[in-house]
Structure 1
Amino acid sequence: MSNYARVTGVSEVELVTEEKPTTLPPGAVEVAITYCGVCATDTHNYTSGGKVPPAVFGHEWTGTIARVAEDVTTVEVGQRVVACVGPACGACAMCVGGHSEHCDLAFAEANGVDPHAPVHGGFAESVVVQARRVLPLPDQVDDVAAALVEPTAVTFHAVRRTAQELGALVVVQGAGPIGLLAAQHARHAGAGHVLVIEPNPERRAAAEALGFTDVREPGEATQEHLLALTDGRGADVLYECTGAAALLQPSAELVRRGGTLSLLGFPMTDSTVSYGDWQVRELRVVSSLAYLHEDFVGAVRSIADGSVAVAGLHTGTIGLSELAATMDELDSGRTSHAKVLVDPRR
């Protein structure tokens, strides 16, 4: 038997006990979950009553291979793995058309709607997925760090898509987990200067603890500081990591003419922007969602070699029975947590 959590209504979660299948489908593995991170998508799903696919509720998981189907040869029982999306399939319309970086199958896996998507996510004691959906972990990445690979892959993908130039003056808007990871990737990618903008003093302190020396509150003084740094030009690249719809146009106005606005945060409402302003200044706008298989490979390597530090983002560990209360706290806007991990063994 195995327990998992699912959303049953607006701000309602129930624990379900299911019987494990006696045999695994072809190509599948069973993973015993060690940790599963809680992210904003999970909180939105909880408060909206289940608006995202069930497999996405708990998608930042890591664990150990408990069983493998007879035809699986890529991983073995006892290996530590992290959830990922599979490599480009080579057979979908996008792959056949030469656009494997937008493989339909990998995109469906990232969004929990592929043909083999499990009926629940990683807020569980175990989960059954296709073997292509797991990535073995090196010993240098411990279990807590492994639970943070998924958001690291999200930001790795975004910075890679942005094609930030060496020496760029970079602004990171928001110092939550996504902003802190994006800032580290930007630094690792050769940024000449990184300015982090964040209203929350605890998050500003977290950015400073990661070695960022130019961390400021939003406001007119910070805008003047940016203009002074750039002789009045503005940022070469701005990573918008808050997802606050009202910040989209103000963020764009911090970017120099011909610079890049990179969108990571996902707004839940429509945004109002000045298209004419963007056109006149020839802004380059890059959006990103989720990741590719190679982003997970890069994320694991960046954690293993110390280029990106994730341990400091972990601020609490709970059991499955505490999930609803934690979701309420995270949704309140009055939490000091950055990244909470669920340990289903507690």
Structure 2
Amino acid sequence: MSNQQRKLTISGPKALQEEAFTTPEAAPGRVVVDITYTGICGTDVHGWADGSMLPPAVFGHEWTGTVSAVGDGVTDVAPGDRVVGGVGPACGTCPQCRGGHAKQCDTVFAEANGVDSAAPTYGAFATQVHVSSRRVIPVPDALSDIEAALVEPAAVTFHAVRRAGIVPGEIGVVVGAGPIGLLTAQNARNAGLGRVIISEPVEARRRVATGLGFTDVVHPDDVTDLITEATGGVGADVVFECAGVASLLQPSATMVRRGGTLSLLGFPLTESTVSYADWQQRELTVIGSLAYNHDDFVGVMRVIADKRIDVTPLHTGTMGLDHLADILSELDSGSSDHAKVLIDPTLT
């Protein structure tokens, strides 16, 4: 790749700024990665529309590429290695780790949110990134580049399903069949759900879910009747809220049986109104889930390599950097049929 690089960053509400830069020399403990693909996440869309809500490293956080240079002290990857952007292992020195809570490592949480001290100054809507070696995770040979590009959202859902503590044979509901919902449904099926019900208003997304082998895929208008039929009126054992729509939080909770679990993956940007008394009376377990740990990346890549989940049907388009603003606008409109669009910086 040429030493002349380019990157796109957010410069204001629905505004992008393009900058040219020269390939940096890999600093100690850091690596230079030539970007192959960067996925567009709902967070990217919201951040672009808002203009100021995202740390710079988060705009373009779903990426895969090839290491082109490593700095002093880097021993876990080498030039030529394919990698995905992720988070490092628990640091062992932060307050959470010292308190025995390595799964909630402060360093990893900061990395996942792009606010750690080593966070890059821009995301991977670029031809190249220069990042801490903690942020790169080698990709197994069994994964294609397209599969590697979808590892990050798959890790988000792998993490949430692990936190939900599914008991084999339980009945679950997934609210929303966008990329996060479809990946959640597949990981939950692997975790042992006996029946997976998917609620989704968009017909095109329902077709993708059916193509992934799910048979209980319905419009939201029909989901209550299906849950009643499947559970004898008791309610679902676990409901995964993946839509991120504030107004759906309480309706999602009402699908859960007394003593069941509500898992929150969607991230609404406005406050939600819920019935505290309803949740308390029905003794719901509510589990928040945000981002992932290092072991979620390792685990989900094994699952993808073993063909236990299929991420490729989520990929609905590939575009170059020059088309990023257009596709962000389309996705923000709410009328796009796209699931996951990948940006290939080599395309014009």
TM over 0.5: yes
Contact 2:154–2:183 at 8 Å: present in 1 too? yes
> How far apart, CA to CA, are the structure 2 residues paired with 1:24 and 1:34?
19
In the alignment, which residue of structure 1 is the partner of 2:265?
264
Offset of 1:20 from its aligned partner?
Answer: 2.4
Q: Runs of 4+ in structure 1 displaced over 3 angstroms?
A: none
TM-score (norm 1): 0.98
CA distance in 2, matches of 1:134, 1:336: 31
The equivalent of 2:112 in structure 1 is 110
* Whole-Å separation in 1 of the counterparts to 2:214 and 2:37: 28
Task: State the alpha-carbon separation in 2 of the partners of residues 79 and 228 from structure 1.
Answer: 50
Q: 1:73 & 1:224 partners in 2: Cα distance?
A: 56
TM-superposed deviation, 1:231: 1.2
Alpha-carbon distance in structure 2 between the residues aligned to 1:18 and 1:232: 60
Q: Give the gaps of 5 or more residues in structure 2.
A: none
- Correspondence for 1:10: 13
C-alpha distance after superposition, 1:265-291 (max 9, x if no partner): 001100000000000000010010000
Q: C-alpha separation between the residues in 2 aligned to 1:277 and 1:119?
A: 44
Correspondent of 1:24 among 23, 26, 32: 26
Aligned to 1:211: 213
1:15 Cα deviation after fit: 1.4
For residues 117 and 161 of structure 2, what CA distance do their matches in structure 1 show? 30
Residue matched to 1:90 = 92
Task: Report the Cα distance in structure 2 between the residues aligned to 1:226 and 1:188, rounded to whole angstroms.
Answer: 20
Matched residue of 2:232: which SS?
Answer: coil
CA distance in 2, matches of 1:52, 1:153: 20
Q: How big is the shift at 1:70?
A: 2.3
**1:164-221 superposed Cα distances (whole Å, 9 cap, x missing partner):** 11111010000000000000000000110000000100000000000000100112x4
Q: In structure 2, the residue corresponding to 1:135 is in which secondary structure?
A: strand
Match of 1:308 in 2: 309
Three-state SS of the structure 1 residue aligned to 2:19 is: strand
TM-score, normalised on structure 2? Answer: 0.98
Query: 1:202 maps to what in 2?
Result: 204
Aligned residue identity for 2:301: V
Separation (CA, whole Å) in 2 of partners of 1:9 and 1:63: 28
Pair 1:223 & 2:224 matched: yes
Cα deviation 1:280-337 (Å, max 9, x = unaligned): 0000100100000000001111110011100110000011110001100000011010
User: Residue 250 of structure 2 contacts residue 275 of structure 2 at CA under 8 Å; is this kept in 1?
Assistant: yes
SS of 1:269's equivalent?
coil
Separation (CA, whole Å) in 2 of partners of 1:85 and 1:316: 26
| AA aligned opposite 1:235 | A
Following TM superposition, by how much is the alpha carbon of 1:25 offset from its aligned partner in structure 2, in angstroms? 1.9
Q: CA deviation at 1:14?
A: 1.8
Q: Kindly report which structure 2 residues correspond to 1:1-346, keeping only aligned pairs within 5 A, or say none.
A: 1-21=4-24, 23-219=25-221, 221-346=222-347
CA distance in 2, matches of 1:228, 1:313: 30
Worse-matched range after superposition: 70-79 or 82-91: 70-79
Distance 1:205 1:217 in 2: 11
CA distance in 2, matches of 1:142, 1:218: 34
1:237, 1:231 → 2: CA distance?
A: 15
Distance 2:226 2:209 in 1: 18
- Percent of matched pairs sharing the same residue: 56
Counterpart-to-counterpart distance in 1, 2:97 and 2:72? 28
Give the deviation of 1:45 after TM superposition: 0.8
Tell me how far 1:132 sits from its aligned partner: 1.4
Contact 2:27 / 2:72 at 8 angstroms: preserved in 1? no
Deviation per residue, 1:83-127 (Å, 9 max, x gap): 110000000111001111111110110011111111111111110
Shift, 1:133, TM fit = 1.0
Superimposed CA distance per residue, residues 249-277 of structure 1 (whole angstroms, 9 cap, x where no aligned partner): 11100100000000000011000000000
The code of the aligned residue for 2:111 comes to E
> Using the alignment, how far apart are the partners of 2:47 and 2:138 within structure 1?
28
Structure 1 residues without counterparts, runs of 5 or longer: none
Question: 2-side partners of 1:24 and 1:213: how far apart?
Answer: 50
What is the SS of the residue equivalent to 2:159? helix
CA distance in 2, matches of 1:70, 1:113: 24
- Deviation at residue 71 of structure 1 after TM alignment: 1.6
Letter of the structure 1 residue corresponding to residue 137 of structure 2 = L
Tell me the distance in 2 between the aligned counterparts of 1:67 and 1:224. Answer: 56
Which sits farther off after the overlay, 45-54 or 335-344? 45-54
